[in-house]
Amino acid sequence: MVIILFAILLTSWNNTEMSISALVDGAGSMREYIAGNPEIADSGFFPPSFIPSDIQMYVVAMIETLEMALIALFFSILVAIPLSLLASRNILMILLPSDTPFTRTLRGGIYLSASLVANVFRSINEIIWALFFVSAVGLGPMAGILALGIHTAGVLCKLLAEGNEAIDPGPVEALSATGAGFLKVIVYAVVPQTMPHFISMVLYRFESDVRSASILGFVGAGGIGFYLFDKIRSFENADVTTIIIIIVVAVWLIDKLSAVIRKKFI
């Protein structure tokens, strides 16, 4: 098995023309690009721009990006939770416990349909979704929110469904034996086991959505990405560095907040 995996890796390496020497040889060009063209003012990435009015503008745009990610996460959770239940084989056994041919076929149909919807949602990149929604609702944050929400719903559905299928069946069987209905089994036997996983995945996706939202501005979907794309096109690389620093600080703060929440609830 190890030999097969190594052969696949080696074949992929050759097919994609990966080369360590090419990276080493190109390091000088990378340094020149970062340093900038001496004939073009402010074309270098360092030092960053420290113009107060610009920094304020970028911070406001970063706040808008965080708001986009937050609203998108809210919508994605509303879609992902019920979809993940339908994409979990063990949950479907609780919902449809009988073992008749019709019920088995129905469970299989529901599972395949829910999985297909989730696969479509997450297989299409956020930027592609953003292009679709920009054409529908116009430029601005709404297109970015919808794009992030759809993609994240698909990802969360997959992650939550895997969490559902990994639970201990004991509490479910014990509660079902008492005659408890589907909702009671979910609330009292499934949710307590999946809640730590749910919180962890939601926090991870929020951090990921903030990073993704920072790029959606490239296609006119609002947020700090709009300024990042504009400055990259204009070769105002000092401003690009400033924007990148703001994004990194925002993601770092979110990571610290996530750690506090995880410590409290997980």
Residue 161 lies in a domain: yes
Q: What CATH number has the domain bearing residue 144?
A: 1.10.3720.10
73: containing domain: 55-265
How far is the C-alpha of 69 from the C-alpha of 73, rounded, in Å? Answer: 6
41: pLDDT strictly greater than 80: no
Q: What is the pLDDT of residues 45-60, one digit of tens each?
A: 888 888 888 899 999 9
Contact 246, 240 (CB under 8 A): no
Residue 16 lies in a domain: no
Tell me the average pLDDT across 230-248. 87
Residue 7 lies in a domain: no
Banded pLDDT at 243 (limits 50, 70, 90)? very high
Residue 25 lies in a domain: no
The per-residue pLDDT for 152 is: 92
User: How many folded domains does the chain comprise?
Assistant: 1
The per-residue pLDDT for 266 is: 67
Residue 181 lies in a domain: yes
Please state, for a pLDDT cut of 90, what percent of the chain lies above it: 21
In degrees and rounded to multiples of 5, residue 236 shows phi and psi of -90, 70
What phi-psi label fits residue 79: left (phi over 0), alpha (psi between -120 and 50 degrees) or beta? alpha
Query: What are the C-alpha distances in Å from 242 to residues 26, 36, 122, 147?
Result: 25, 15, 31, 26
Tell me the average pLDDT across 88-111. 86
Residue 33 lies in a domain: no
> Which residues have C-beta within 8 Å of that of residue 71, sequence separation ≥ 6?
145, 149
146: pLDDT strictly greater than 70: yes
Q: How far is CA 193 from the centre of its chain?
A: 23
The per-residue pLDDT for 37 is: 73
Residue type, 34: I
Banded pLDDT at 174 (limits 50, 70, 90)? confident
121: pLDDT strictly greater than 90: yes
Residue 22 lies in a domain: no
> Which residues have C-beta within 8 Å of that of residue 93, sequence separation ≥ 6?
107
Banded pLDDT at 78 (limits 50, 70, 90)? very high
| pTM passes above 0.75 | yes
Q: What is the pLDDT of residues 130-144, one digit of tens each?
A: 888 888 888 788 888
Residue 195 lies in a domain: yes
The per-residue pLDDT for 113 is: 93
Q: Is omega for the bond preceding 82 within 30 degrees of 0, making it cis?
A: no
Using only the alpha carbons of the chain, give its radius of gyration.
Answer: 24
Q: If we measure between CA atoms, which residue out of 58, 69, 49, 42 comes closest to residue 141?
A: 69
Place of tokens 């297989």: 123
Tell me the average pLDDT across 155-175. 86
Q: Cα(first)–Cα(last) distance of the chain, in Å?
A: 36
What the block records as the tokens of 122 is 């997450």
The per-residue pLDDT for 223 is: 79
Q: What is the pLDDT of residues 189-223, one digit of tens each?
A: 888 888 888 888 888 888 888 888 887 877 777 77
Please state, for a pLDDT cut of 70, what percent of the chain lies above it: 98
Banded pLDDT at 29 (limits 50, 70, 90)? confident
